Amino acid sequence: MRVYEELFILRPNATDEEITPLVEQLTGLITSSGGVVDATEKWGVRRLAYRVQKHAEGYYILIKFHAGATLVKELERRLRLTDLVLRYLTVRTDERMKKLVKRAKKREERMKRKPQMPAPAPAAPSVEQQMLTQQAPVPGEPAAQE
């Protein structure tokens, strides 16, 4: 199974009574087809970058899930047929995760090949610090007279 993110934008005037059944229908479709829903996030009403079907705002919903390719086609078909949906976007995220893991492994290999730099030795105290430590009187004791 592959990992997907489905982001879709609903009309801004959609009520919770319309949104909740739609989200439940989509998550039910995913689970009944053998997929696993990882997370469902309702982002709420946000401003769109440009007007879509004469709407300047939209209600954003993100669903993260594991499923096969045939399920994604059916999910997109249902979103396309639903009048409530303005736009949708399906992204396969497992490819991105594979690239990140591969990049991390290469970075670790490079770090292993680089010679380890020895820790720097503690610096000798400067002349000013030496003079301050010699001249500082201890509180409560009389000053030493020469």
Q: Assess if residue 132 is contained within a domain.
A: no
The phi and psi torsions of 32 (rounded to 5 degrees) equal -70, -25
Contact 75, 5 (CB under 8 A): no
CA 133, CA 146: separation in Å to the nearest integer?
Answer: 18
Q: Assess if residue 51 is contained within a domain.
A: yes
Rounded to an integer, the average pLDDT of 100-109 is 86
Q: What is the pTM of this model?
A: 0.65
How does 38-64 read in b/e, with b if 16+ C-beta sit within 10 Å?
eeeeeeeeeeeeeeeeeeebbbbbebb
Q: Assess if residue 53 is contained within a domain.
A: yes
Q: Assess if residue 75 is contained within a domain.
A: yes
Q: Assess if residue 12 is contained within a domain.
A: yes
Range of the domain at 15: 2-97
Q: Kindly tell me if the per-residue pLDDT of 139 is higher than 70.
A: no
Q: Kindly tell me if the per-residue pLDDT of 138 is higher than 70.
A: no
Q: Assess if residue 129 is contained within a domain.
A: no
Q: Assess if residue 74 is contained within a domain.
A: yes
Report the CATH number that the domain containing residue 31 is assigned in CATH.
3.30.70.60
Segment 3-16, tens digit of pLDDT:
999 999 999 999 99
Confidence at residue 125, expressed as pLDDT on a 0 to 100 scale? 73
Domain count, the chain: 1
Q: Assess if residue 44 is contained within a domain.
A: yes
Rounded to an integer, the average pLDDT of 28-44 is 92
